[in-house]
Amino acid sequence: MDAVIDIGSNSVRLLIDEHKKVAKKDVLTTTLGDGLALTGKLNEEAMLRTEKAVTEFVQKARSCRADNIYIFGTEAMRAAENGVAFKQRLEKSTGLKVDVISGETEARLGLMGALSDMPGGEITIIDIGGASVEIVRGDEKRITYLKSLPLGMVRLIDLAGTVREDIERYVNEHICEFGFVCGVEAVAIGGTATSLASMDLNQKTYDPYEVHGHVLTLHALKKLTDRIFASKDLLKDFPSLPEKRARIIGHGAIMLTALLEYLGLEQTTVSERDNMEGYLYYTAGKK
């Protein structure tokens, strides 16, 4: 049994591989990327929160007798001026190697993770993270399009604020940086997509088994976006939404809507399987 820890720009996640189709992932929101877009550096409070979460997950993985524990970091760690120093700090506190992956690798891993539960054929992966957004299209044999942009949700707060019109304006100004790409069957992965699916399902508590495979239409996304920005109490209106994700879920709804429109698609399937499963697929030799 292996474990993998994903150090994201908004959350740290733990997956203990028990060979299930849908794995329950532990999540701690640490907002590592807070302020990164403005300063170029990880701030000390965010690093402390993240270090605590990573060490807690390492301890849990060891208590579950994981044979191997893999740790990887994404956009916040690769983009920050002090990202290397933070990597070394984590390696010292955990005694484990921390692999900071490139945007291209992150996109490839997301594709492989999603494909591990797909019947085959070419798909387009949409991965909206805390600091970056990836689009990758391909199948098990080849990748036909891949791009990662620093347009993640924590960054959007820094750069566009919290007013809907400002967020939409910023997203529409920068989404064209993906260049020419037409979508085929789309699969959305990551915490933004799974949270929006749970909200669309009106879940009281988050159920990954129901979320996995849920089809989120463009029409439903637009209605959900209206509800989010009209809400006076998001946690009351959407009980399954984690408290610390509430501040960025409106940004995520706008981004996912814009991406579907940009790709010329009317819907996306939401997958619980993502770059964590992809990382195990490549690094631990899991299928």
Q: Report pLDDT for 118.
A: 77
Band of pLDDT at residue 282, cut at 50, 70 and 90 = confident
pLDDT digits (tens, 9 = 90+) for 141-156: 889 999 999 999 999 9
CA dihedral sign of residues 155, 108, 214, 184: positive
Average confidence (pLDDT) over 200-220: 96
Q: What are 193-204's pLDDT values in tens digits?
A: 999 999 999 999
Please say if the pLDDT value at position 287 is more than 50: no
Q: What is the pLDDT of residue 285?
A: 60
Please state the rounded mean pLDDT for residues 95-112: 92
Which of 7-11, 32-36, 224-228 has the largest mean confidence?
Answer: 224-228
Answer yes or no: is pLDDT of 286 > 70: no
User: Shortest CA distance to 71 belongs to which of 80, 62, 79, 63?
Assistant: 62
pLDDT digit string, tens, across residues 30-40: 999 999 989 99
Contacts of 19 (CB under 8 A, 6+ apart): none
Q: What is the DSSP annotation of 244-277?
A: GGHHHHHHHHHHHHHHHHHHT-SEEEE-S--HHH
Could you give the CA distance from residue 110 to residue 112 in angstroms, rounded to a whole number? 5
pLDDT band (50, 70, 90) for residue 284: low
* pLDDT at residue 184 tops 90: no
Mean pLDDT over all residues of the chain?
93
The CATH superfamily of 2-103 is: ATPase, nucleotide binding domain (3.30.420.40)
Query: Which percentage of the chain shows pLDDT scores above 70?
Result: 98
Positions of CATH 3.30.420.150 in the chain = 118-270
**Residues of CATH 3.30.420.40 domain(s) within the chain?**
2-103
117-121, 198-202, 267-271, range with the lowest pLDDT: 117-121
Residue predicted with more confidence, 143 or 183: 143
- Whole-prediction pTM value? 0.89
Q: Which residue in 275, 125, 127 sits closest to 186, CA to CA?
A: 125
For 118-270, CATH number out of 3.40.50.2300, 3.30.365.10, 3.30.420.150, 2.40.10.340 equals: 3.30.420.150
CA 39 to the chain's CA centroid? 22
